[in-house]
Amino acid sequence: MAVETSIVVVPGWRDSGPGHWQSLWADRLPNAVRVVQDDWITPSREAWVRTLERTVLQAPHPVVLVAHSLGCIASTHMGPDAQARVAGALLVAPADPERRAVLSDFAPVPYAPLPYRSILVASSNDPYCPVRLAGAYARAWGSEFVRLQQAGHINIDSGHGEWPLGWALLHSLTDPDTGAEPVRSAA
């Protein structure tokens, strides 16, 4: 039997606009709430993490995070009280805050195991994070790693609107009794 969960959508730098899979899912999922940051252009780790933690702590059910890009990194910076509310996380196309000065406030990235099940999805040609670094994040965080070939930043610009594979991965976190095995790699 599936446990009722609250979905917390965690967009990355500059938000996820209309047509982005995060926006489409947030509209479709009845228990979804989207994190809204005060400043999407010049992100502050303290402000972003505080807003994310508040959203997680206010959720009525155990939380499944659906994070993209810098949202993945913000999620790993949460404190123990918020982390304790998280049942799982889909971490997609994580950012590398050391490669862009505007994101440097999020460095260093935590390399501690996450205390919940997580799936990290990365692309072989993501312009914002080398796949080797994404793999290192997955190992450090204890995440299941899904490596996509030539999927770009896994956003609307790389052709990922509805993104059915991501939807299936999300359901493997929210409906563990479906019997579906988590995807480990995809072409």
Classify the phi-psi angles of 39: left when phi > 0, otherwise alpha if psi is within -120 to 50, otherwise beta. Answer: beta
Strands 144-148 and 32-34: unpaired
Amino acid letter, residue 45: R
What's the average model confidence in pLDDT over 41-56?
98
**What are the tens digits of pLDDT across the range 140-157?**
999 999 999 999 999 999
pTM of the model: 0.93
**What separation in angstroms does the CA of 133 have from each of 3, 45, 106, 128, 137?**
33, 20, 15, 10, 6
What strands, in cross-sheet order, belong to the sheet with 144-148? 32-34, 6-10, 63-68, 86-92, 117-123, 144-148
Residue 119 has pLDDT above 90, yes or no: yes
Mean pLDDT of the chain: 93
Rounded to whole angstroms, the Cα distance separating 124 from 68 reads: 16
Rounded to whole angstroms, the Cα distance separating 47 from 152 reads: 28
pLDDT-derived band at 3 (thresholds 50, 70, 90) equals confident
Residue 185 has pLDDT above 80, yes or no: no
